[in-house]
Amino acid sequence: MKKSIFTSLILLTAISLFAQGDPALTEVWDPVPRVVTPGQSSSDAPSDAIVLYNGKDLLHWMGLEGGDVKWKNENNILTVVPGTGDIKSKESFGDCQLHIEWRTPAEVSGSGQGRGNSGIFLMSRYELQVLDNYNNVTYSNGQAGSIYKQHMPQVNVCRPPGEWQTYDIIFTAPRFNDDGTLKSAARITVLQNGVLIQNNISLWGSTEYIGIAKYEKHADKLPLVLQNHGNKVSYRNIWIREL
């Protein structure tokens, strides 16, 4: 009898502590987030990022089919050389945060998909479109900031041709079951020039030019690919954080 009174007292004390709202009960002290030093500006890589392009060397890149990158690397800018193919990162990535800056040619030529076309293929297969859509109309789900042929951007926040633009991307890789079926779709959030254009949307599958996108089981990590679409699109300040 005594024991049960004692237990009840402890229980009552605990309940009353909760009821009174003891702030310590909801404090988490361990674990502690690790320290990361941010860059001086949003262009600069934070301390835990891999700098994929620092404006100098192309140590992190190779041609899509192997061999050296044939794009122009000059004045801290990497520019597509038409006819030399796509390029890919030597390292592979899955879940990541990617910062990349791009610029379509100041001298405008072509229209629709033919004007300043390039693209960022996450895991070599999910394209975030790069295109000059400043007063240039094309299909909405193929314009700059679209997940090509899947999701149009929420807004068109393109700067004029010849001006630098930014993409800040948060990407969650798809997960697959052992039998090859999809466990969870890839997800992506994109800010273009600091403005939200894709909000944690779910991808339908690998980017397809013709037909409906679908998933095929692939590795947990794959290279990042930059597209050569025959237009002299430039890149700079590319950094990535594995998540």
Binding footprint of Mg ion on the chain (CB under 5 A): 117, 119, 227
Nearer residue to Mg ion within complex by CB, 146 or 172: 146
Q: In the bound complex, what is the minimum distance in angstroms from residue 119's beta carbon to Mg ion? A: 3
Q: In the bound complex, what is the minimum distance in angstroms from residue 166's beta carbon to Mg ion? A: 17
Nearer residue to Mg ion within complex by CB, 45 or 148: 148
Nearest to 78, CA basis, from 92, 59, 94, 65: 59
Nearest to 113, CA basis, from 137, 91, 135: 137
Burial class (CB in 10 A: 0-12, 13-18, 19+), 82: exposed
**Backbone φ and ψ of 242, nearest 5°:** -75, 140
User: How big is the CA angle at 44 (ends 58 and 233), to the nearest 5 degrees?
Assistant: 50
Q: In the bound complex, what is the minimum distance in angstroms from residue 187's beta carbon to Mg ion? A: 21
Nearer residue to Mg ion within complex by CB, 172 or 227: 227
**Backbone φ and ψ of 25, nearest 5°:** -65, -20
Radius of gyration of the chain (CA): 24
Classified as helix, coil or strand, 176 is strand
Q: In the bound complex, what is the minimum distance in angstroms from residue 231's beta carbon to Mg ion? A: 9
Taking CB positions, which residue lies at the least distance from Mg ion?
119
Q: In the bound complex, what is the minimum distance in angstroms from residue 126's beta carbon to Mg ion? A: 12
Q: How far apart are CA 80 and CA 10, in angstroms?
A: 71
Nearer residue to Mg ion within complex by CB, 89 or 117: 117
Nearer residue to Mg ion within complex by CB, 80 or 96: 80
Which residues, 6+ apart, have CB-to-CB distance to 119 below 8 Å? 127, 128, 129, 130, 148, 226, 227, 229
Q: Give yes or no for a contact between 175 and 185, defined as CB atoms under 8 angstroms apart.
A: no
Nearer residue to Mg ion within complex by CB, 227 or 237: 227
